[in-house]
Copies of this chain bind each other. A is one copy, B any other.
Amino acid sequence: MTTATARRTPADKHDERRRTLAESALRTLGELGYARSSLREIANNSEFSHGVVHYYFHDKLELIVFCVKQYKATCVHRYDGVVADATTADELVSGFADKLVETIVDEAPMHRLWYDLRSQSMFEESLREAVLHIDQTLEDMVWRVVSTYAELADAEPAMSPSVVYGLLDGLFQQALLGYLCEREGVLEGLRAQVHDLMPMLLRAAVTPRG
């Protein structure tokens, strides 16, 4: 009856539990990776027992996909603040580079999980729909940064959103691996690389000022 009002009881609790479970699962997944995370291990790192997973999720795969989609939702607006706050092109580049570095430091487990899942989707077709959707969302996120950067620089992007995302993703992935291997200077390197690369993503302004 009361479908519109925010009564907290019936199916909301169910969804909330799913989210709580997914959050616990993400911790384990980020630590062990997709392949080595068993449902028992996931449950051990949560406040539930291993059987409860099949009460809230039909499958292990459904749990995994739900987890990744949940992670995506919390991660996809990470750079919105940078885009909104920047008033000059240089400021945007610096903020973007800093945020990329911060992401690696703060969320390395989540991002290696993402690359793990994307690799798995090359083998397992059932993962592809979710992976492609997330990839598209990340591409959109990057494009918001680059197109804003172009506007601030009074220029226009020289490449398609897909290419820009591919290039930056390659650098990010490389830096993440280097960071996990505790290589010296990877973070500063990434920051410098972004500063170098961003201007190359722009075509010379059609109408140079004046």
- The interface of chain A, by Cβ under 8 A from chain B, is 31-36, 112, 115-116, 118-124, 128, 131-132, 135, 159, 162-163, 165-171, 173-174, 176-177, 180-181, 189, 193, 196-197, 200
**6 residue pairs, one from A and one from B, having the closest CB atoms:** A170-B170, A35-B35, A112-B122, A33-B123, A166-B174, A119-B119
When chains A and B are docked, how far (Å) is the Cα of A115 from the Cα of B121? Answer: 11
Across the interface, A32 reaches (CB within 8 A) one of B123, B163, B165, namely: B123
A196 (CB) vs chain B CBs: closest residue: B159
User: Which residues from B are CB-within-8-Å of A35?
Assistant: 34-36, 120
Quote the shortest CB–CB distance from A193 to chain B (angstroms).
Answer: 5
Shortest distance between the CB of A62 and any CB in chain B (Å): 19
Q: How distant is A60 from chain B, measured CB to nearest CB, in Å?
A: 13
Distance in angstroms between the alpha carbons of A31 and B122 in the assembled complex: 10
Contact of A122 (CB < 8 Å), options: B36, B159, B171, B176: B176
Contact between B177 and A169, CB atoms less than 8 A apart: no
8 contacts between A and B (CB under 8 A): A34-B35, A35-B35, A122-B177, A132-B181, A167-B170, A169-B173, A169-B174, A170-B173
Question: Which of B116, B176, B197 touches A123 (beta carbons < 8 Å)?
Answer: B116
Question: How many chain copies does the complex carry?
Answer: 2
* A195 CB → nearest B CB, Å: 12
For A33, list chain B residues within 8 Å (CB): 119-120, 122-124
- C-alpha spacing A121/B179, complex, angstroms: 12
**Given B135, B169, B174, which contacts A162 in the complex, CB threshold below 8 Å?**
B174
Chain B residues whose CB sits within 8 angstroms of the CB of A132 once the complex forms: 181
Q: Specify the chain B residue showing the minimal Cβ separation from A168.
A: B170
Closest B residue, CB atoms, query A116: B119
Known: A112-B123, A121-B177. 16 other contacts (CB 8 A): A32-B123, A33-B120, A33-B123, A34-B35, A36-B123, A116-B120, A122-B177, A135-B177, A159-B196, A162-B189, A163-B196, A163-B197, A165-B174, A166-B171, A167-B167, A170-B173
A32-B123, A34-B35 are known contacts. Are A118 and B177 too (CB-CB below 8 A)?
yes
